[in-house]
A and B are shown apart, each in its own frame.
Chain A
């Protein structure tokens, strides 16, 4: 009887171990963020230093709620089917910091994000420098293509008194990227009409 009981105990111990291992693995798979998801909150000091802050977090669960067909009007009056654009998205994250004076943030504040953008799969797509009267903006657009398709986009927009970081996770048509400006808290960065200004918008050499 004792031998039989011991066997049952061993079997149950094995079952416990298997179930626990499978549950842990399942939870790990539920972690939604792939390599295209950037950690944008490494520089907590930016939020404290800035006089203005915009922080938007739309994860996959929220994006799924948006109907497949939903027409919205952009600030320029253009009607777009935003549902089609967001169909392949798994996350939209925006951090925009406004400062009272110039020089309140520095390149070193971007070290954390830039380090992530140097990891395999990320490549700089375009560099836009806008220097019109009253405007001095440097926009860098990166894309993640680790799986052979676009898995994510990162946008760094640097202005003297504003720093904006945008991370779009998921499949997106690059031609429609500009249509997301003004939606989901993404500011108007002028990516679509970047060609009107001084620019260096040739694709940068691919980094791996």
Chain B
């Protein structure tokens, strides 16, 4: 290396070190495929619980029961704008594959670090609710996973600050209400 390059190299190193972490994170986000987290979570549920998404081409080759899965993009309802929804119906979500680990831990591994785990609830009668949030400009992305004994939903919505504040006040109840609202529209 020519000696004259050393100062430039050092300057570059200094700039990299000095860069605040969020900037680096933002750059990572920018390169993430839009909607990738939602798709990754849907896929994770499929592999974890051995259920299947109808939209995946090789489903017929697998000896697993096919769920009715409805994925809708760009739907509009009153409380939130575009959303993505996957519904798994009449599947067995009661068992857990211990070798695959806890589903919650796997969500953490799957989602980018900027997704904040807002609430995780596991109740005997109502099942599991997991809500993750992420700032997205002047809105907030919210990813809600609800897993019951026989059904599951994955919902991603964009909320404005006012609606997001409501979610923060009662995270579990609002997560369920948002999901109910989205699935009602679906029906």
On A, residues with C-beta under 8 Å from B are: 5, 8-9, 12-13, 15-16, 19-20, 22-23, 26-27, 48, 50-59, 61-63, 65-67, 70, 72, 82, 98, 182-185
Give the complex CA separation of A82 and B165 in angstroms: 11
Give the complex CA separation of A13 and B119 in angstroms: 46
- The answer to whether A26 touches B168, judged by C-beta atoms less than 8 angstroms apart, is no
- The answer to whether B17 touches A185, judged by C-beta atoms less than 8 angstroms apart, is no
Instruction: Report if B68 contacts A (CB, 8 A).
Output: no
- The answer to whether B118 touches A72, judged by C-beta atoms less than 8 angstroms apart, is no
Q: Which residues of B contact A19 (CB under 8 A)?
A: 14, 17-18
Q: Which of B10, B102, B124, B164 contacts A16 (CB 8 A)?
A: B10
- The answer to whether B120 touches A184, judged by C-beta atoms less than 8 angstroms apart, is no
- The answer to whether B169 touches A183, judged by C-beta atoms less than 8 angstroms apart, is yes
B104 vs chain A, min Cβ distance (A): 8
Interface size on B, residues (CB 8 A): 35
Give the complex CA separation of A183 and B167 in angstroms: 10
Which of B1-9, B72-80, B147-155, B176-184 has 4 or more CB atoms under 8 Å from chain A? Answer: B1-9
Say yes or no: A56-B119 contact (C-beta < 8 A), given A16-B17, A185-B171. yes
- The answer to whether A57 touches B118, judged by C-beta atoms less than 8 angstroms apart, is yes
Q: Which of B6, B10, B124, B164 contacts A51 (CB 8 A)?
A: B124
Say yes or no: A13-B118 contact (C-beta < 8 A), given A19-B17, A82-B169, A184-B169. no
Q: Which residues of B contact A70 (CB under 8 A)?
A: 165, 169
Identify which of residues 71-108 in chain B touch chain A, using a CB-to-CB cut-off of 8 Å.
102
Give the complex CA separation of A185 and B171 in angstroms: 7
B176 vs chain A, min Cβ distance (A): 13
Decide if the interface of chain B is mainly helix, strand, loop or mixed: helix
* In the complex, per-residue mask of B105-135: 1 if CB is within 8 Å of any chain A CB, else 0: 0000000000011111111100000000101
- The answer to whether B14 touches A16, judged by C-beta atoms less than 8 angstroms apart, is yes
Give the complex CA separation of A22 and B19 in angstroms: 11
Determine which residue in B4, B7, B11, B13 has the highest number of CB atoms from chain A within 10 A of its CB, and name it.
Answer: B7
- The answer to whether B14 touches A15, judged by C-beta atoms less than 8 angstroms apart, is yes
Instruction: Report if B33 contacts A (CB, 8 A).
Output: no
CB nearest to A27 among chain B residues: B21
Say yes or no: A55-B165 contact (C-beta < 8 A), given A9-B6, A12-B10, A16-B13. no
- The answer to whether A54 touches B121, judged by C-beta atoms less than 8 angstroms apart, is yes
- The answer to whether A57 touches B117, judged by C-beta atoms less than 8 angstroms apart, is yes
Instruction: Report if B170 contacts A (CB, 8 A).
Output: yes
- The answer to whether A58 touches B14, judged by C-beta atoms less than 8 angstroms apart, is no
Give the complex CA separation of A59 and B114 in angstroms: 13
CB nearest to A24 among chain B residues: B17
- The answer to whether B169 touches A72, judged by C-beta atoms less than 8 angstroms apart, is yes
- The answer to whether B119 touches A185, judged by C-beta atoms less than 8 angstroms apart, is yes
Q: Which residues of B contact A65 (CB under 8 A)?
A: 140, 161, 164-165, 168
- The answer to whether B7 touches A8, judged by C-beta atoms less than 8 angstroms apart, is yes
Give the complex CA separation of A56 and B119 in angstroms: 4
Q: Which residues of A contact B11 (CB under 8 A)?
A: 12, 15-16
Q: Which residues of A contact B124 (CB under 8 A)?
A: 51-52, 98
Give the complex CA separation of A48 and B96 in angstroms: 12
Say yes or no: A53-B120 contact (C-beta < 8 A), given A65-B161, A65-B165, A66-B169. yes
